[in-house]
Homo-oligomer: A and B are copies of this chain.
Amino acid sequence: MSGLDKLIHQPVRLRIMASLVTLDPTDQVDFTYLRELLDVTDGNLGAHLQKLEAGGYIRVEKTFIARKPRTFIAATPKGRGAYDEHVEALRQILGGADKPASP
C-alpha cells in the first residue's frame, strides 16, 4: 500500500539503506562500522542484511584482511532505486498528500 517498501520501511533496514545510499556507488562499508553506527547487535544487523541481500538491495562481500574475516556492504543499483521510491512515498505521506478535507 501507499508505495512504501516493506523491506526498507523497517527502522533498522531504513537506517542501513539511508547510510549506504550516501556512499559513492563504488564504495562499501564495513560490517563493524555499520553495527556501531546503528548501535545494534551482530545478530540483529546480520539478519537485516540478509533480508536486504535476498531482495537484491545490497551486495555483501566477505573477505579476509590480515587473516581476519571482514564483511563489506554496499547498496546495489536496484537498492538505490527502491530506496529513492520509498523516500518519495514517505515524503508524499508526510507532506499531507493524504490530507483530508474537514468533514
The residues of A with any CB-CB pair to B shorter than 8 Å are 1-2, 4, 6, 9, 11-12, 14-15, 18-19, 22-24, 27-30, 33-34, 37-40, 72, 87, 90, 93-94, 96, 98-100, 102-103
Closest partner residue, chain B, to A5 (CB atom): B11
Instruction: Report the bound CA distance from A96 to B21 in whole Å.
Output: 9
Instruction: Report the bound CA distance from A40 to B1 in whole Å.
Output: 9
B18 near A98 with CB under 8 A, answer: yes
Interface of A is mostly: mixed
Asked, given contacts A1-B40, A11-B1, whether A22 binds B96 with beta carbons under 8 Å apart, the answer is yes
List 17 additional contacts besides A19-B98, A22-B99, A37-B98; criterion CB under 8 Å. A1-B11, A1-B38, A2-B15, A4-B11, A6-B11, A9-B9, A9-B11, A14-B93, A15-B98, A18-B94, A18-B98, A19-B100, A23-B102, A27-B102, A33-B100, A72-B103, A87-B94
